[in-house]
C-alpha cells in the first residue's frame, strides 16, 4: 500500500495521503462479502465512499484484495462515470450537459458556477468545499437544466439561482 505525502509527485501520478484506518475499513467490508466474485463494483463504490475518489493506489489495492488484474479495475473505474480518479470537493457539483439541459442553458449555468466558485470544470475550490463537473445525462430531462450538489437535485436551474444554490452548502 502506497502512502506518499500529499501533493508529492510519485512518478507521473500525483500521490495523496490515504488514511490507513480507511484501508482497514475497506478490508473489513471485503471480508464481509459472501464471495469476492461479482462484487468488484460494490467494493469500488465502498472504496470511493470511504476515500472520496479512486486514485491508482486504491485501484491497485482493490485489485490485489479482490484477486483481479489491476487493468480490469481500471477498466471498470474509467467506464462508469460515477467513479472518479480525482479528489472531489466536500460538496461535488455536477451539471447535466445532455441535449435537453444544454438546449435550456446548462452551458450558461456552468459558466455562472465557474465564475461564482472561481474554478474550472474538473477542479476543486481552494478550501476543498466544492468541485465542478459536467455529466452527459442524468435522465431528468423534464427538469432541464439539472444541477446536482452531492445528492440534492436542482431542476430548471437558471444562472440567477447559482448564488443561492452555493449558499445552501456554504
Residue 8, exposed/middle/buried by CB under 10 A (0-12, 13-18, 19+)? exposed
Asked if residue 134 belongs to a known ligand binding site, the reply is: no
Asked if residue 10 belongs to a known ligand binding site, the reply is: no
Strands (E) in 54-145, as ranges, are: 91-96, 130-135
CB 17 within 8 A of CB 5: yes
Taking the C-alpha atoms of residue 142 and residue 129, their distance in angstroms, rounded to an integer, is 29
CB 135 within 8 A of CB 94: yes
Asked if residue 4 belongs to a known ligand binding site, the reply is: no
Binding residues: 96, 101, 137, 141
Residue list for the binding site for [2Fe-2S] cluster: 96, 101, 137, 141
Amino acid at each position: 500500500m502506497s502512502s506518499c505525502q500529499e501533493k508529492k509527485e510519485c512518478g507521473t501520478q500525483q500521490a495523496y495521503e490515504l488514511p490507513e484506518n480507511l484501508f482497514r475499513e475497506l478490508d473489513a467490508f471485503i471480508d464481509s462479502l459472501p464471495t469476492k466474485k461479482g462484487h468488484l463494483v460494490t467494493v469500488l463504490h465502498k472504496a470511493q465512499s470511504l476515500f472520496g475518489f479512486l486514485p491508482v493506489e486504491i485501484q491497485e489495492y482493490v485489485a490485489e484484495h479482490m484477486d483481479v488484474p489491476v487493468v480490469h479495475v481500471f477498466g471498470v473505474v474509467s467506464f462508469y462515470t460515477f467513479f472518479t480518479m480525482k479528489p472531489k470537493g466536500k460538496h461535488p457539483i455536477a451539471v447535466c450537459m445532455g441535449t435537453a439541459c444544454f438546449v435550456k442553458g446548462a452551458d450558461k449555468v456552468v459558466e455562472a458556477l465557474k465564475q461564482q466558485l472561481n474554478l474550472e470544470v474538473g477542479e476543486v475550490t481552494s478550501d476543498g468545499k466544492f468541485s465542478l463537473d459536467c455529466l452527459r445525462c442524468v435522465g431528468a430531462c423534464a427538469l432541464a437544466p439539472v444541477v446536482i450538489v452531492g445528492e440534492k437535485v436542482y431542476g430548471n436551474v437558471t444562472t440567477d439561482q447559482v448564488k443561492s444554490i452555493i449558499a445552501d452548502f456554504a
